Structure 1
Amino acid sequence: IHPTCIPVSGDHQSKLTLMSESLRNDGRIWVPAKMEDAKAIREGKKKPTDLTEEERDYYLERRYPSFGNLVPRDVASRAAKERCDAGFGVNKTGEAVYLDFAAAIMRYGKEQAKVRGLNAEDENLIKRLGTEVIENKYGNLFQMYEKIVDENPYVTPMMIYPAVHYTMGGVWVDYNLMTTIEGCYCIGESNFSDHGANRLGASALMQGLADGYFVLPYTIGEYLSKDIRTGKISTDLPEFVEAENNVRSQLERFMNNNGTHTVDHFHKRLGKIMWDKVGMARNAEGLNEAIDEIAALREEFYRDVKVPGDMYSFNQELEKAMRVADFLELGELFAKDALHRNESCGGHFREEYQTEDGEAQRDDENFA
């Protein structure tokens, strides 16, 4: 989960725009302290700059005074979603918090004024000097933000919200990077070896390179060397015929189904269930609800999905339908696995299993 993304502006969007975590070095994260102010901002009746310091809740600084806005990304993400779920979100969808650079601009401006021997009491001068420093550090990100949101982040606080970066970790591998399935290898962040709740900077790229360049050329080669003389494998086997018929039957089912909704319709609904109840913070109630909702959605999907075209030509909608069918199974598996694992560890965080400080409460005796 990446906590520093540009939020969506409505239901027509499904993906958030990733920005840099470096922004949290200088930006202060906050939401309105009062529910009525948050509602007024969402309705366009107030601007964030209308709120005084006392009317703002710098919730990360309040909860984690030692770390403030530099808490680990999983902590920052859960906290942002918790505030928005509680009704304090600040954009039209209610799914955004503020990342404010006003204090950093004034701080850098005063430093520059002193260094240059200028009047440190001139507020306009201080703002101009501080803005120049922020622009030098984050100018490309601020420009991207303004193009997407059409607001000047030097004047109006940025809006950010957590987003799924990608799925990481979990698949067991041996030292050769082979899974428990003979001949099936798993590399990069998809295996369990290097990653916990917080992916270290650039480690996704580095693990992919390390596994791909330095491990797999030797381990896969060794495995294939034993099969090099196997020869052609016959497809005239009952197992192959069964597998082929199962796939053909599913393809025909999709093509003959006279449904009313697109594949994307069901994919989006599944994503919403997963984000709300099987995402960065989980609990037993939400996971049980997710299992029931996914089962109902899968039944509706097979009954009411509409796939255009035919199965004998290049049909990306048909390919997508097969993929979403797999996603429905995988999503249910995620939820059941998370429900069974009564602890918090790594990327898996159960709200019932945390310390008073909000840290993961592990159960190594039963799950290590």
Structure 2
Amino acid sequence: MTQPVRIAQLSCGPEYSGVQHEIEAAAKEVGGEIFFPDIALKDIMRDFQEMGLDVRSPDLRLTISRARALVDGRVEADAVFIATCFRCAEAAIVRNELRRYIHEHSKLPVVSYSFTERTTAGTLLTRMEALTTIARRRALLARETQQGLTLGVDSGSSTTKAVVMKDNRIIGTGWQPTTEVLKSARDVIEHALNEAGVQRSEIQAVGSTGYGRFLVGKEIKADLIQEELTVNSKGAVFLADRQHGPATVIDIGGMDNKAISVMDGIPGVFTMGGICAGASGRFLEMTAKRLGVDITELGPLSMKGFGGRVPMNSYCIVFGTQSLVNALAAGSTREDVAAAACHSVAEQVFEQQLQEVDIKEPVIMVGGTSLIEGLVHAMGELLQTKIVVPPHSQYIGAVGSALLASGFIRDD
């Protein structure tokens, strides 16, 4: 029987808000076990003073001491989950500092999360799955090449993608909007196999990822069913040829966004989510529709405009759309509105998520939105760096799945 992954919880507040049960349920579902590091009372004040974080909350002081115990080796763990209430500014500072501290002084995978009273196990599941995967499958995630003939399927919230790979090369792809999850998966698989010129029976291993990974994985008898955080980071550094050293992966998706700090192909610190769909690819889809262009035309259109001429608030997708309507009614050009929408999404990702990840170059943008030139340009301006968009970036999850699935090919 596989031993559960021991996840040390550093937190303030979930036991008072009713969220603790949800945290433990999410961890249990992916083979994890939550525990609170035991700390001697005499160590709390010493650790608090040595860390130099001037906080008043006794719970936060305890959290700081527990972090020190993990780094010093006084308490053993396989992974760390840091959780604080999103309403507390003091807790947010401690959360971010401890995440950085543990990441820099240990090899423990860390995820931080700001919870609300409505946080459910479902919203935590992908994060917990990534934590347990990194702790349990480091050897698999360190895989640098794809071997044999494998298939990867990414059943995303907006689009479904499939990739056939053979001996480290992509030989077939399939892409279409996600409608019926299983039908969309079957269609893209058929397209990828036809383009590759191979039969399904010839495929040696299959991987699935994305929101529909469990349903699709069961249907196609996948050897690997994996959350998108680890899969996307592996696919990104593979396609960008940055498998050694640090990298930062940004994936602005249809429903949520991911920012991942990667070292030698293995994700370290990552963050997932966003306040509202106004910071996602869905808002850009709505922008394109309102401007009367296809989403593929939004990038070139935005590069012809100047977003600074248009006030834009897309923290909420409803108010963001209202900003679009008001700007057009006031005489703003379609080009300026497109540029403003791209800048607004990039700015929100920068403010909400990239502050929680140590940005190390190269910065790699992946996913369908990485093909929108104006968004990539806006992100590059905010980060003051050249953004890398690798070939086949829109197939990133399928590529990562096909690559990792090759680790399940039998030699016989």
TM-score tier (shorter): under 0.3
Which has the higher relative contact order, 1 or 2, with Cα contacts under 8 A spaced 6 or more apart? Answer: 2
TM-score normalised by L of structure 2:
0.22
TM-score normalised by L of structure 1:
0.24
Greater share of strand: 2
